[in-house]
Amino acid sequence: MLKIWLLRWKDGEGKMKIIHSIAEQSFKENNSVSEGGRLESSTSQPVLLNQEHEHSNGACLEHGICSHEVLQDAKDVDSNMVNNKIMKKASFKLSWRCKGENSDQHKHDIVYFERGNITTAERSSKQISLKWESPPQTVVILTKPNSNSVQILCAQMVRWLREQKKLNIYVEPRVRAELLTESSYFSFVQTWKDEKEILLLHTKVDLVVTLGGDGTVLWAASIFKGPVPPIVPFSLGSLGFMTPFPFFNIFLDSEHYKDYLDSVLRGPISITLRNRLQCHVIRDAAKNEIEIEDPILVLNEVTIDRGISSYLTNLECYCDNSFVTCVQGDGLILSTTSGSTAYSLAAGGSMVHPQVPGILFTPICPHSLSFRPLILPEHVTLRVQIPFNSRSPAWASFDGKDRKQLAPGDALVCSMAPWPVPTACQVDSTDDFFRSIHDGLHWNLRKTQSSFDVPLDGKSGPSVVNYSADDHDKL
């Protein structure tokens, strides 16, 4: 069974047009497009439809854009099933907007996601608002380990969400064992048993709550290999670039999470769509596509470095099959804009707003005075290859883990993943971003320059004052 998005609009005559369909199964290169807009392939693939429907859909907004998810084989797509299917997850809508009622750019281009699965949108650079169209039913809570205070807060939150909000609760197997050790009351809490259940978790969960720091958000994102439910990140870590909901004192502020969660569950809320990179390691020894390793999704960055070798790394870099440069230094960082405040920043890369769609290309200690970092557009595909004449292998790490050796001839291919990570904002994505770099990095924190002294006669206007060298140093 294929899962297909059908995006529709109303034309000027009020007719419905199916303009686009997106399947969760990736297209292969042997697809071809025939006349009429249908994709043809030897395997079962989703269909790109371009046909008119004479009836209008009442669920579409006045702006005419809506989408529906159809669960059936692509060759049997029937538009009548769109309106008759049963809802199983909380539905919501995303609206792209600009601040200011009088702005010429003030628009409300709205897309519906009836099963809670968010995919990358064209207008991802605008402020995005999420509004629930049916109340959330299921929440998963993910916590950082080895913290007694977080464990206490988690138990309180689980109890409150169950008793006051009547929600179904999922936690990690480790956390469920801790809760049951504390009390048998928590027997209603659900968990998963294996990787197969984790892969289906996004079909059951409406909301993710993280209790920890940015590392907990990275862990939450890594669980979901496809669509990611909206994440509400509470700051219980160190810096907190991705955790805008604060806990200054976990014991004094233990009740504040209720106000935050009330607001999120009630909606609407601003969210940040954080793009991820999809990385493939291609071995030179692989004889066919079957031997290619599974893709790895990263929210911050993928790093290729020299490891324990004392030699410089030698990395050949290509962008859309065009040669870019050869990196000779300690390594290279390919980062998302969300990861621009992490390792890339330490290596001299720029800080970038997380909703700017792009890929950061940041060298690590390059042996060149002219090698400056780059920011590339989101649609490119980057390939980093270890040349056969390299003195030593390189090592790749993905969000700081899953370290893999890259031998001469191996390559790492990176592109933007189709499934971003939506994180809830306390105010909006821009306000949260500036607050994070001010609070986390003390960005541009400096004593303010003092003004000139007021003239002794009290009159306004410029005055001529003679300063000595000592006086100038005091300014």
Distance CA 328, CA 26 (A): 34
Number of Cβ atoms within 10 Å of the Cβ of 176: 19
What's the length of the chain? 475
- In 226-287, DSSP assigns E strands to 231-235, 245-246, 269-274, 277-282
Distance CA 278, CA 284 (A): 19
Q: Residue for token digits 């009351």? A: 185
Q: Which of 57, 68, 59 is nearest to 7 (CA)?
A: 68
Could you list the active site residues?
Answer: 214
Q: Which of 283, 243, 45, 239 is nearest to 142 (CA)?
A: 243
In sequence order, which ranges of 274-334 are alpha helices (DSSP H)?
none
Cβ burial of 165 (10 Å; 0-12, 13-18, 19+) is: middle
Q: Which of 383, 446, 351, 421 is nearest to 210 (CA)?
A: 421
Name the CA radius of gyration of the chain, rounded.
26
Distance CA 47, CA 419 (A): 20
Distance CA 213, CA 147 (A): 12
Q: How far is CA 194 from CA 173, 200, 209, in A?
A: 10, 11, 21
Number of Cβ atoms within 10 Å of the Cβ of 341: 26
